Structure 1
Amino acid sequence: TFGIITASCRYLITGILDMVEMLFAEFTTFSKEEQWKLAVRFYDRFFMFDACYRAEKIFPDELNKAMVAYSAYVSVDVADHFFDDCPNQANIEEAQRSFMKFMNMLLPSSRVAIPKANLDESEFLALIVLIFWFSDCLQMRDEIVKIGERYR
């Protein structure tokens, strides 16, 4: 549900910030705003990639499922109740439409790509590093862009 993903996201963002501080010494020299922008942009990409990668391991024949937390998945079958615990019900119909579009279009095509890539665990981890430093669409200082290019 929305509540499970919200809680999971908070933990994941905190973990991302801790992880990149340990992996990339330069990250600690960035402003808090720059760190946050990079972490959130990474989260947006990583969440989907990880959700599909793990779902492929657990549900290889069910392309309509994605892992959204350590022990929770989402699928079209449960999508009608996904927003039941959302505290702000103001735009729930629009959110539901967007979610169903994701579930019916983006999720299956993303799930199909995972087995085609056939990544082992080391390749998966290497790709995570590449995803982190792919900061397109962000207004970042040239220094940060150059650091990202070096890691890629």
Structure 2
Amino acid sequence: FSLMCQILKSGETGTKPASFPLSQGDHDGSKIRFTPVTFSMCVPLGRIFLSAVYDFAKMAFPDFAALEDEHKGLCISKCVQMVSMLDGSYRAEHHFPNDLDTHFTSYTTIANGETFETFLDDCSYVANKEEAIEAMKSSLTRTKSMCRELFHRLKPDSVEFTSLLGLGFWNNGVSFVNEELSAAVQRNRAQILKEMHQVYKSRRKIDYASRLGELLSLLDNMEENATLTIQDVQVYRLYNVYNE
């Protein structure tokens, strides 16, 4: 995961203009400057994220590394929304614990109801800007309700988050691609859950079953929201957004 974050940070830094201050004050860039996402950023940031998830998976999961290239691509396409939501929720909880309306859209960009007012300013061909913005705000509100608020209440620690990231990567959508991926999903999810049980037992957490159930419910919510987010894109296309 640290590798994935480094790729995202370096890749997104490279997309900034030369005049752009990269940090909040530290010359080493350790305090990243978060900026509102705009339409023109989405494609390059999305490509960087796909590349980072690919490299993360290749190092973290031997089963993924052993897949044929075509199946690797299918796997990434089915998990990228889940990984993005988990990563964004975890980092939002860290950087904006008291602002549940602000969401990460990438490693260095954020969005909320206010920033969406200018999101389409650099999109010259949107059909109905006002309606498109309202549709996007509605999606953000749903994400807050289904994901961000529950994540905030549960506050997964670093070990729990890493486990959720693995389970989110090997999600149900991946298992539907073919028998090979279905077997990989079952194998990896079983191993991750086994390790979670061992961690809770080592912590002498007697009532961990209820905690684990809540975390899995969070994961279910995110999986449902990921599906709805993909459907949202079809709505945006009615306004001539994301049609390229």
Equivalent AA in structure 2 for residue 75 of structure 1: N
Change (3 A) 1:32 1:90: farther
- Equivalent in the alignment of 2:81: 44
Change (3 A) 1:52 1:92: same
- Equivalent in the alignment of 2:51: 14
Specify the SS of the correspondent of 2:120: coil
Q: Is the 8 Å Cα contact of residues 175 and 183 (structure 2) preserved in structure 1?
A: no
Does residue 84 of the first structure (1) align with residue 121 of the second (2)?
Answer: yes
State TM-score, norm by structure 2: 0.56
Shift of 1:94: 5.5
Q: Which among 142, 147, 154 is matched to residue 110 of structure 1?
A: 147
Change (3 A) 1:86 1:107: farther
Shift of 1:115: 2.1
Q: Is the 8 Å Cα contact of residues 103 and 110 (structure 2) preserved in structure 1?
A: yes
- CA offsets 1:103-136 (integer angstroms, 9 cap, x no match): 2232244211112222111211111111111132
Aligned length: 152
Q: Which among 88, 96, 115 is matched to residue 59 of structure 1?
A: 96
Identity of aligned residues (%): 25
State TM-score, norm by structure 1: 0.85
Shift of 1:74: 0.6
Change (3 A) 1:120 1:37: same
- CA offsets 1:26-57 (integer angstroms, 9 cap, x no match): 32343333212211221111212222221111
- Equivalent in the alignment of 1:148: 185
Higher RCO (CA 8 Å, separation ≥ 6 residues): 1
Shift of 1:87: 6.0
Change (3 A) 1:24 1:44: same
State the superposition RMSD in angstroms: 2.3
Change (3 A) 1:95 1:37: farther
Shift of 1:21: 1.4
Q: Is the 8 Å Cα contact of residues 38 and 135 (structure 1) preserved in structure 2?
A: no
Q: Structure 1 CA distance, aligned partners of 2:128 and 2:175?
A: 27
Identify which range, 103-112 or 120-129, moves more after superposition.
103-112
Q: Structure 2 CA distance, aligned partners of 1:94 and 1:142?
A: 42
Shift of 1:15: 0.9
Q: Structure 2 CA distance, aligned partners of 1:117 and 1:65?
A: 18
Which 5+ residue runs of structure 2 have no aligned equivalent? Answer: 1-37, 190-244
Change (3 A) 1:97 1:70: same
Q: Which runs of 4+ in 1 moved over 4 A?
A: 90-94
Which 5+ residue runs of structure 1 have no aligned equivalent? Answer: none
